[in-house]
């Protein structure tokens, strides 16, 4: 899952660079090419990876709670 997310944003960055090259780069564009840590996609990539991690943690927590209920544990939430 994480690799697919990173691949998606890498592909977006590559497409952005291709468009910039096709439009003709100038010195100012080259200086800002790596803005935001990932060609302008750093914040979005970080947010998506954190959201995926949170969903995985919540799923795991739900599985544990269901198993505790199934076993009739007194500590089941």
pLDDT of 74 strictly over 60:
no
pLDDT digits (tens, 9 = 90+) for 9-49: 888 888 887 887 788 876 666 665 666 666 677 888 889 99
Kindly report the number of other CB atoms within 10 A of residue 45's CB atom. Answer: 20
> pTM score, two decimals?
0.57
| Per-residue pLDDT, 75 | 56
Confidence at residue 51, expressed as pLDDT on a 0 to 100 scale: 92
Q: What are the C-alpha distances in Å from 77 to residues 11, 64, 68?
A: 42, 10, 8
Alpha carbon separation from 24 to 16, 40, 63 (Å, rounded): 12, 18, 53
């Amino acid at each position: 899952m994480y690799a697919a997310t990173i691949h998606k944003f890498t592909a977006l960055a590559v497409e952005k660079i291709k468009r910039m090259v096709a439009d003709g780069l100038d010195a100012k564009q080259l200086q800002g090419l790596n803005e935001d840590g990932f060609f302008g996609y750093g914040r979005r990539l970080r947010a998506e990876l954190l959201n995926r991690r949170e969903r995985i943690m919540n799923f795991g927590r739900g599985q544990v709670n269901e198993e505790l209920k199934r076993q009739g544990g007194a500590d089941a939430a």
